[in-house]
Amino acid sequence: MGMRYGPHSLKTVFIQYLLWLVAATVGLVVITLVLLGILVNSGLMLKADYMEQWINRHTEQISGSQKVTRELFPEGIDYAVYDRTTRDFLYGSIKQSKGQEIMEAVLNGKWYSGGFLGLSLGAEYYKVIARQGEFCIVVYPIAMQYPSVFLRKHLPPLEWISLLIFILTLLAAIIMISSWFGRKISRNLKHLQKSAEQIQNGKLDFSVTYSGIQEIDSVLHSFDRMRYELKDSLERQWRIEQAGKEQTSALAHDIKTPLTVIRGNAELIAELNPLDEAKEYTGYILKSTAQIERYVQLLIDASRSEDAGTAQMQAVNMEEFLIEIERQTEALAAPKQLRMEFVKKDSPHHFTADSELLQRAIINLLANAVDYSPAGGTIRFSVESVNGKLRFSVADQGPGFTAEQLVKAKEPFYIGDASRSGQHYGLGLSIASSIAGRHGGTLEIRNFTNTGGGEAIIEFPLSTTT
């Protein structure tokens, strides 16, 4: 159970992430510069100062020409001619408004304008060339140029294209690096998620897999300790409950022995003593003994229901199953002279169930119906298959369920009020509901509109066998 930290903390992981981003950025800058250098050295592109060098070589030609014309300059260079005295714009390859702006910039000591983010990208540089009675300002970029005039005219500068490619490539690198680190952290967090799900589902017999990140491993270690403590607590609780149930069951069985002796002796006294008064007293003893025996049997049934575990499913013959139900029901109904109505509709010849458990559940429902039925009333027991499910229904002519009972009647030891008269110990419906659940089904209670009494329905998926 020792705590095992991984070699990295989350801080280290994020530092690694930043270092990867910095390395990717620097690498892309170097690659871009190297590629541009290769383009220039191979003659596929002209150097960034190509225009400036061209102007320096042709300054005398521009200064001594009779008139400055467009034909004197290569594509990409503009010019403006001004009067030397008045500094008025005379003519050029640019508009007069822009020519005035250039003049003002030069007079203010500026030899360039524009630029992107303080770089030379998109900037225009100025060079003043003196002429007779006038001067010419040449406007040119300092940027790599295409050797082809056509490309120079129709394509944006290579620096802009390079910048766009650099940004797109950098974004792609950031996405890839972020995705890789995201998957790495996600994989580590899955260890945490898996441990939480195991504990949530009650599966405590598992080993924690550590992630290699200190903070996550610290939480995983806490989960492991919680798993261990929870498992130990549940096992202790289970042992205590088992001991309590075993003691209850043993005590219940032990109580049956003296009760049998008491009942036998009371019956013997009643037979040997013909006095009416003695028979009355022994009748009280027998009645109370029968009541105690029923309490004991309920405790035994409850203990068996909790310990039953998974139902032992097997093929059950419907006819034989119902015959046994009818036999036991008639014995229950006889003291109150109740009439039993048995209805069988679309039921299979065989079905799959735990016969003993299911009989116990149905007899509990019938016993409740007997308790709550008025003397001479009718209890309706029906079995049918509905939408691929087998349904057993018990309905009585008692007072029905109250709104509170419809919600709580299936809870263990719930008794409720006296609106449904009779001997109600709060276990019959609970036991029946537990057994229905072990068959993958449910127990539903409601008020039966035909009789006004209560109705209990056990329903579970039908699996027939030949």
* Alpha helix segments (H runs only) across 316-374: 318-333, 355-372
pLDDT value for 4: 46
User: What is residue 213's three-state secondary structure?
Assistant: strand
pLDDT of residue 414: 65
| Per-residue model confidence (pLDDT) at position 115 | 63
- Quickly state the pLDDT bin for 443 (edges 50, 70, 90): very high
Averaged pLDDT for residues 323-343: 86
Q: What is the pLDDT of residues 242-297, one digit of tens each?
A: 766 666 666 666 676 676 767 777 777 767 766 666 666 676 676 667 667 666 76
Write down the pLDDT at residue 89: 93
Residue 3 in this model has a pLDDT that exceeds 50: no
Instruction: Say whether pLDDT at 449 is over 60.
Output: yes
Q: pLDDT, tens digit, for every residue of 396-440?
A: 988 888 888 888 777 766 666 544 444 445 567 888 888 898 899
User: Is 92:79 a contact under the CB 8 Å cutoff?
Assistant: yes
Give yes or no for a contact between 115 and 122, defined as CB atoms under 8 angstroms apart. yes
Percent of the chain with pLDDT over 70: 76
User: Distance between CA 196 and CA 191 in Å, rounded?
Assistant: 9
Between 333 and 263, the higher pLDDT residue: 333
- The arithmetic mean of pLDDT across residues 382-407, rounded, is 89
Distance CA 175, CA 20 (A): 12
Could you tell me the pTM of the whole model?
0.43
Residue 138 backbone zone (phi > 0: left; psi -120 to 50: alpha; other: beta): beta
| 3-state SS, residue 179 | helix
Query: 276-307 vs 428-438: helix axis angle to the nearest 10?
Result: 30
Q: Point out the least confidently predicted range of 74-83, 100-109, 185-194.
A: 185-194
User: What percent of the chain is predicted at pLDDT more than 90?
Assistant: 20
Residue 130 confidence (pLDDT) above 50: yes
What tens digit of pLDDT does each residue of 348-376 get? Answer: 999 999 988 898 889 888 888 888 888 88
Q: Where are the alpha helices (DSSP H) in 72-127?
A: 96-107
**How many other C-beta atoms are found inside a 10 Å radius of the C-beta of residue 427?**
19
CA distance 463 to 388: 8
Residue 219's identity, in one-letter code, is: V
- For 126, which DSSP code? E
User: Given this model, what pLDDT does residue 321 score?
Assistant: 92
| pLDDT at site 391 | 93
Which is more confident, 8 or 161?
A: 161
- With 90 as the cut, is the pLDDT of residue 331 above it? no
Q: What was the pLDDT predicted at 465?
A: 43
Supply the pLDDT for residue 110. 86
**Side-chain-facing half-sphere of 407: CA atoms under 13 Å:** 2
Question: pLDDT band at 229, cuts 50/70/90?
Answer: confident
The neighbour count for residue 121, using CB atoms within 10 Å, is 17
328 by Cβ neighbours in 10 Å (0-12 / 13-18 / 19+) ranks as middle
Report the run of H or E that residue 311 belongs to, with start and end: none
Looking at residue 184, what is its pLDDT?
Answer: 79
